Structure 1
């Protein structure tokens, strides 16, 4: 795993004399230092436009590779962008903004994506952005402490790559091969879009052609993975009825778990299949502890005419912002 910019030499030298777990801590502290430095720079202006430039200047000084990686992925992995939905930049548990708005603006602009709230006009719609780049590069610079820790922990710790037996540094802020956005897109998407329907098949084809991703994730044997899927299906009335299928996949780590993966044992992948959209879309992916999936798939919460809502900061038009309580079917399948 690479550490960016001027912090590189300090943290690499420290790592030479530390055990592996201490090395992981040093790497996390590297990103924490960058995030806090950017946050401090933003305090000198309340203007989002000025803040974006302040963030850029600070990152060019501390972590130029970070900006270069976003720009490169925005170009090389352009087709993968359409396989991600939209996310709300607000943590319901902590009741706070996750990624500072100027930082998210910079990430989106550098990646060649629409700005926050594009095409939306309701209150707080400026919190809504491309889920893929917010949840990867945006989360790396989040200073929000949640009950589960920093959002970036999923990327600075090796839990996911160890769990799936991937080469060191594959799912990391600055991977040796591919990019953070592309690598997690292919890994999560290859599991979420395994269906045989037209939309899933088209999305899966895009993943297979993702040249910006590491060969390790592109050629992984996803057919050998097994897990559970919670499917929440609802139909929205209209001139053309619309069906939204919310999918939560729980995939046990096949290669390692326990202490080696920070106490986590599965990967959760949250995605959508919306009849109003051409492709299914990813929303989030993160490691979870034992027992989490059992609670989420409990039989007492399955059946027809049950309340359904979006989770994990997802924004789905007509669902997340519905003024009425929505109900539908909740079911679990095994793969």
Structure 2
């Protein structure tokens, strides 16, 4: 896609964030940095970072914040190109939604969309679609597991017949030393078009926070 992009409605986004926070949905997401591992610069401006966390009632110190706020909402405001396109592409072009068995507009900045809840938020819908697959990967998924200082991490590549690429879903346990006893928190989800076997092998051979995750916050 081109770089033409209408600025998102910040007040709409902040209203969604307030609802997500009130419903406790942000607790399903781990920590992330807004500094992208490929560009080495913030994916979006600090004033957006601060506004998102203030609306959520989260005391976050830039550049590390809640992964749901950064990835699901903040990336819509990014104008920084990466080697894989713009951060918002995963939500805007519908490829991730289709990979997760949803309509292409499922994760757009709107209420309701394909959810049975007419007031649902984008973060609510992506959490409901991705978190169960992270915790209980379906058959035929490719799965990578690694320990980060005794903290579990997992990547799941979920195949989809109606999508160009599988959905990559990544999560990290909230506490060290928990191993299999702790649920995983979502970090990110996006369509993955690379070598799946190579990704899983590298993930397990070289344990490290991936895709802008922060594992020690």
Bucket of the pairwise TM-score, normalised by the shorter protein = 0.7 to 0.9
The higher radius of gyration belongs to: 1
Corresponding position of 1:184? 126
Matching of residues 54-133 of structure 1 within 5 Å: 59=9, 64-76=11-23, 78=24, 80-115=25-60, 117=61, 126-133=62-69
Q: TM-score, normalised by structure 1?
A: 0.56
Deviation digits for residues 37-80 of structure 1, max 9, x if unmatched? xxxxxxxxxxxxxxxxxxxxxx5xxx54233222222223x2x2
With over 3 angstroms needed to count, the CA separation of the structure-2 counterparts of 1:276 and 1:161, relative to structure 1, is same
What is the number of residues matched between the two proteins?
207
With over 3 angstroms needed to count, the CA separation of the structure-2 counterparts of 1:310 and 1:188, relative to structure 1, is same
Residue 82 of structure 1 deviates from its aligned partner by: 1.5
Corresponding position of 1:332? none
Question: 1:252·1:267 contact (CA, 8 Å) conserved in 2?
Answer: yes
1:285 to 186, 189, 214: 189
- Relative contact order, higher structure (CA 8 A, sep 6+): 2
Corresponding position of 1:230? 144
- State the distance in 2 between where 1:280 and 1:111 align: 21
What value does the CA root-mean-square deviation take over the aligned residues? 2.6
- State the distance in 2 between where 1:232 and 1:279 align: 14
Corresponding position of 2:163? 257
Question: 2:135·2:183 contact (CA, 8 Å) conserved in 1?
Answer: no
SS in 2 for 1:140: helix
Question: 1:267·1:285 contact (CA, 8 Å) conserved in 2?
Answer: yes
Flag structure 1 segments of 5+ consecutive residues without an equivalent: 1-24, 36-58, 118-125, 195-221, 237-242, 259-264, 319-335
- Structure 1 residue 271 and structure 2 residue 171: aligned? yes
- State the distance in 2 between where 1:286 and 1:96 align: 20
Question: 1:69·1:174 contact (CA, 8 Å) conserved in 2?
Answer: no
With over 3 angstroms needed to count, the CA separation of the structure-2 counterparts of 1:168 and 1:191, relative to structure 1, is same
Flag structure 2 segments of 5+ consecutive residues without an equivalent: none
Corresponding position of 1:246? 153
Q: TM-score, normalised by structure 2?
A: 0.83
SS in 1 for 2:7: helix
Residue 295 of structure 1 deviates from its aligned partner by: 1.8
